[in-house]
Chain A
Amino acid sequence: MDSESQRWIERLRPGNRDRDAAIAELRELLLRAARFEVRRRCDRLSQIRGGDQEDLAQQSAGDAMVAILGKLDDFRGQSKFTTWAYKFALYEAAATIRKRAWQGRELPLEAEQWPQVPDPGPAPHGEVEMNDLLAAIREEIETSLTPRQRQVLVALALNEVPIDVLAERLDTTRGALYKVLHDARKRLRAALAERGMILDEQMEVSE
């Protein structure tokens, strides 16, 4: 662990005479990160105005502070302490904004948004045609997945509901929902392989 990070950890420990000053400094850092994230995201969200943005940043910085002080023992010094701390503020701000953006909206949990794909013509030998693949995925979602897997996959992957928004509505965690999504995807891939479908690299990358 670098000496600066070590000093942060020592100063933040209960009983340290410099703790109040360290907490005030950390709060400034977290607020800077939270404001950075709120500004980035709210550029795309017209419904969150200036005063609300500052409230969201303050709330996110406060939540991040609570998380950090409860997890000081988890800091292993594999990055700078400030980098480690920033990720909590960014995480809290991003999750808070996603939830705010979906506040009061009904979550689309049913498969209603399947795209209509024009026939692109024959695919190269051995590759799966887009229409066939989408049709197969659609069928396998209905027949191969459990109801829970279907609900989570459709909401997250098809309807693009943010994962922390869905987690809050279903009273679970982001990690638990991702596990369901991961298992659903694995099952779908296995079902497609059983059909003899060879997936083209281009179809596998989401970003």
Chain B
Amino acid sequence: MTRENRLIGRLLGPAGPELSCERCFEELDRYVQLELSGADADAAIPGLRAHLQGCSACAEDHESLRALLSEQGS
């Protein structure tokens, strides 16, 4: 993806409905545990994936929690 594509993505955000930052934080632990267990986290918590595409700070929190749990083998 080019630099311009990424810029347009940041300017326009995700197309579909998305959770707020607060709801994303509330659900993040459940979402990551579902992901790591192989369950369909996006079906269980609609709108969270879209929020991660639109909010770089929440996306970083998601990436970090996944990495920490993966490192611990949880």
Cβ contact within 8 Å between B61 and A90: yes
Cβ contact within 8 Å between A206 and B54: yes
Number of A-B contacts (CB under 8 A): 131
Majority DSSP secondary structure for residues of B touching A: helix
Assembled-state Cα–Cα distance A98/B21 (Å): 17
Stretch at the interface among A18-26, A45-53, A75-83, A100-108: A75-83
Cβ contact within 8 Å between B53 and A205: yes
Cβ contact within 8 Å between B32 and A83: yes
| From B5, B26, B64, contact of A40 by CB (8 A) | B64
Cβ contact within 8 Å between B61 and A204: no
A171-190 vs B, CB cutoff 8 Å, 1 = contact: the mask equals 00011001101100100110
How near does chain A come to B47, taking the closest CB pair, in angstroms?
12
Cβ contact within 8 Å between A94 and B57: yes
Chain A residues with CB under 8 A of B29 = 78-80, 83-84, 86-87
A147-185 vs B, CB cutoff 8 Å, 1 = contact: the mask equals 000000100111010111000000000110011011001
Assembled-state Cα–Cα distance A164/B8 (Å): 21
Assembled-state Cα–Cα distance A140/B69 (Å): 43
Q: Report the count of interface residues on A (CB-CB < 8 A).
A: 50
Assembled-state Cα–Cα distance A137/B15 (Å): 15
Q: 14 A–B contact pairs at CB < 8 A?
A: A79-B29, A80-B74, A82-B74, A86-B29, A90-B68, A95-B57, A134-B8, A141-B11, A163-B21, A178-B20, A181-B13, A182-B13, A185-B13, A205-B53
